[in-house]
Homo-oligomer: A and B are copies of this chain.
Amino acid sequence: MRILTTAALALALSAPVLATPPAKPARLGLCAACHGEDGMARIPGAPNLAGQKLDYLREALRQYRDGRRDIPVMRAATGPLTDAELDQLAQWFSAQTPSRAAP
């Protein structure tokens, strides 16, 4: 019995850290209109976000909010959001699996 418990524990500890998908962010709706809830863009000009690098998404969202990347629609969308809310969104989109779509 102890062996089984040890084996189960070892198995659990060896699982990838991000095996559990992040919870759906409360602020996802506004992003999803253009980028898709799954991070595959729905409109011309908007980038796919699914599977994008987490550090890149976190930094990009801060740049949009602070105006360092000056895209009015993104500044309006991110302006009211806290760092924690931006991070939840970055984690959500980074964890999505990209699908092939028409370029």
B-binding residues in A (CB < 8 A): 18, 41, 44-48, 50-56, 59, 69, 94-95, 97-98, 100-101, 103
Q: How many copies does the complex hold?
A: 2
B59 in contact with A53 (CB, 8 Å): no
CB distance from A63 to the nearest CB of B (A): 10
- Given A51-B98, A53-B103, A103-B54, the answer on whether A45 and B69 have CB atoms closer than 8 Å is no
Contacts of A46 in B (CB 8 A): 53, 56
Q: How many angstroms between the C-alpha atoms of A51 and B102 in the bound complex? A: 9
User: Which of B41, B51, B95, B97 is within 8 Å of A48, CB to CB?
Assistant: B51
B45 in contact with A56 (CB, 8 Å): yes
